[in-house]
Amino acid sequence: MDFSLIVLVVIVAALAFDFTNGFHDTANAMATSIATGALKPRIAVAISAVLNLVGAFLSIEVAKTISGGIVDDTKVTPVVIFAGLVGAIIWNLVTWLVGLPSSSSHALFGGLIGATWIASGADAVHFGKVVEKVLIPAVASPIVAGIVSLVGTFLTYRITEKAKEGMVGKGFKTGQVLSASLVSLAHGTNDAQKTMGVITLTLIAGGTLAPGSNPPLWVIGACGLAIAAGTYLGGWRIIQTMGKKLTEIQTPQGFAAETSSAAVILASSHLGFALSTTHVTSGGIIGSGLGRKLAEVRWGVAGKMVIAWVLTLPAAAIVGAIAAAVSTRGSWGTILIGALGVLVALGIWLASRRNPVSAHTVNDEPDAAKATPVAA
Amino acid sequence: MDIDWGALGTVFVVALAAAVVLTVLFAYGIRGLSARETAREQGGSGVAQFTGSIVCFGVCAAVVAYGIYLIAA
């Protein structure tokens, strides 16, 4: 199989995005288990990494949605996809720096949409598809997960009301290990697919694959490995936000929230909905906060998250559009954008060293959590 | 633009059913284990409670396995 240099560059950028996707989303599966002490931080991310890899191989429905959907694949060139990926990676890194669990999927879609729009005009973007495949699931999925998790949490507490406290704590700790594993697996079936879809789209645009092809095996393997490596790195900043700042979580709640999230993600993956696993698990955690009597949800933190969700797609689109405007001017433009992307990534990493959050400090009470909590 | 409300509805119903079945069974399993301890403290064997728990956990595992099978197949 031979492909041009630009296709190779896009594949590298796509895998880099997948890697950021991994550490950005470790929190989705493991935040509640780490917060309740059900799993040690290092072990949690290792389990999650392996199951993400397995999940990547389970289903390719979502990859097919990406490669044959939201942008006109006859008008997209590898350079445009490259610009879109730069937009997505930069937004992912910025939100990670401030510890916001924004959607990696929306960053990816936003970047691609912005880049395509600038490079090929507005009609190369299928806005109908964007609403259908991205916006509707974005609004619906956290609500669905929240309701499911609320019902699950409520029932769990009702049923175990009279049981011995020690047994409940111990039992649900074990349950959480299992349910968190299921979320990791589900994450692989949905998020690893998105990068596979992008690489497949590139190979189609570059003429290596016929339009409408399924992702080749080496693409599935490479994406699975990239997301697993990112996951193992652990996005401790976001884990802290989701596990500690949003609501106080007990083991039965963590179990109910994770089971609900896994069910929603797996059902969606199977039907090819590229939903945001971040939105689903956040909805699940809030639902479990509401489902336990008198549990507090810190609506201030939840509100900030929602603002980040709304901003993600347009913000990544703007970065993607700028990247496309420069990189479609010629090879020098592409090289310039690539170099700038690496510099920005390096800068963000350096900035993060000033206030590091690691496996050791992830469960410390952060300052933001001391802000007045609002009773739910 | 046609929004597939049917598929969205399916996700909701399937997810709700799966999550409720799993959490309820698991919770009953744990309640059973707790009842077994209570029974033993009072001199009973607790075998009935223990069997009930195992059945609950077993069905839980089966539901998860079936779900993964559906997706992988």
Which residues of chain B are within 8 Å of residue A252 when distances are taken between CB atoms?
A: 27
**pTM given for the model:** 0.81
Nearest alpha-carbon partner for A324 in A71, A41, A79: A79
Query: Residues with Cβ < 8 Å from A35, sequence gap 6 or more?
Result: A242, A243, A244, A249, A254, A363
Digitized pLDDT (tens) for each residue of chain A, 376 residues in all: 456 788 888 899 899 999 988 888 887 788 888 888 888 888 888 888 898 888 888 877 777 666 656 777 677 788 888 898 998 999 888 888 887 778 888 888 889 889 988 888 877 788 777 777 777 877 888 899 999 999 999 998 888 888 887 888 888 888 888 888 888 888 888 888 888 888 888 888 777 787 777 888 898 899 999 989 988 887 787 787 777 776 677 888 888 989 999 999 888 888 777 778 888 888 888 888 888 865 677 777 778 878 888 888 888 899 889 888 888 887 888 888 888 888 888 888 887 777 777 766 666 655 444 333 433 3
Mutate to test the interface with B, among A159, A220, A276 (most CBs of B within 10 A): A159
d(CA B49, nearest CA chain A) in Å? 12
Cβ under 8 Å to A: B residues 41-70:
64, 67-68, 70
State the Cα–Cα distance between residues B6 and B12, nearest whole angstrom.
10
Please list the helix, strand and coil fractions of chain A in percent, rounded to the nearest 5, in that order.
75, 0, 20
Question: What would the pLDDT profile of A182-236 be if each residue is shown by its tens digit?
Answer: 888 888 888 888 888 888 888 887 777 877 778 888 988 999 999 899 888 877 8
Sign of the torsion angle spanned by Cα atoms A97, A98, A103, A107: negative
Phi, psi at A71, each rounded to 5°: -125, 155
Mutate to test the interface with A, among B26, B57, B68 (most CBs of A within 10 A): B26
Query: Residues with Cβ < 8 Å from B43, sequence gap 6 or more?
Result: none
Task: Look at B19 and A149 and tell me if their CB atoms are within 8 Å.
Answer: yes
Question: What would the pLDDT profile of A21-73 be if each residue is shown by its tens digit?
Answer: 888 888 778 888 888 888 888 888 888 889 888 888 887 777 766 665 677 76
Task: Look at A168 and B34 and tell me if their CB atoms are within 8 Å.
Answer: yes
DSSP per-residue letters across A212-245: TPPPPHHHHHHHHHHHHHHHHH--HHHHHIIIII
Mutate to test the interface with A, among B5, B25, B30, B40 (most CBs of A within 10 A): B30
Q: Does B21 touch chain A (CB under 8 A)?
A: no
